[in-house]
Structures are given as C-alpha cells and as structure tokens.
C-alpha cells in the first residue's frame, strides 16, 4: 500500500471524528483535541501503562 491512501484514510477518519464531535455532545463523542490531551496526561503520569497492563491481563485471562 502506498503512503497517500494511508494518509488519506487517517485524515478522513479524523475529519469524520471532528464532525461527529460537533454534532453530538462531548459526553457522547469527545473531540480529538481533548482526547489527545487526556492521552498525553495519562502517558506522562504513567497511568496509561498501568491501565494497558490491566487490560492485556484481562484479555489474556479471557483466553484461558
């Protein structure tokens, strides 16, 4: 797959996300900027890695 279709698909998804975040309240579809800010805060605090660990543990236990 070439680079242009990949960039186009990511841009399309972001535009659709932005349109949906304007059409619905933030409690249903938060915008990309608040989501990325929250993600950055979680990664900076280390909470994201703990949550990822717990999620992967649950998935692993679900396969048993």
- What pLDDT sits at residue 22? 96
Burial class (CB in 10 A: 0-12, 13-18, 19+), 29: middle
Longest dimension (CA), the chain: 42
pLDDT tens-digit map of 5-53: 999 999 999 999 999 999 999 999 999 999 999 999 999 999 999 999 9
Domain boundaries, the chain: 1-30, 33-64
- What pLDDT sits at residue 53? 95
- pTM of the predicted protein model: 0.71
Instruction: Compute the distance between CA of residue 42 and CA of residue 37 in angstroms, rounded to an integer.
Output: 9
**33, 18 contact by CB (below 8 A):** no
């Amino acid at each position: 797959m070439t680079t242009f279709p990949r960039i186009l698909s990511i841009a399309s998804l972001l535009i659709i996300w932005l349109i949906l975040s304007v059409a619905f309240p933030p409690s249903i579809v938060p915008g990309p900027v608040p989501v990325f800010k929250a993600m950055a805060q979680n990664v900076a605090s280390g909470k994201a890695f703990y949550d990822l660990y717990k999620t992967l543990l649950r998935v692993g236990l679900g396969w048993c």
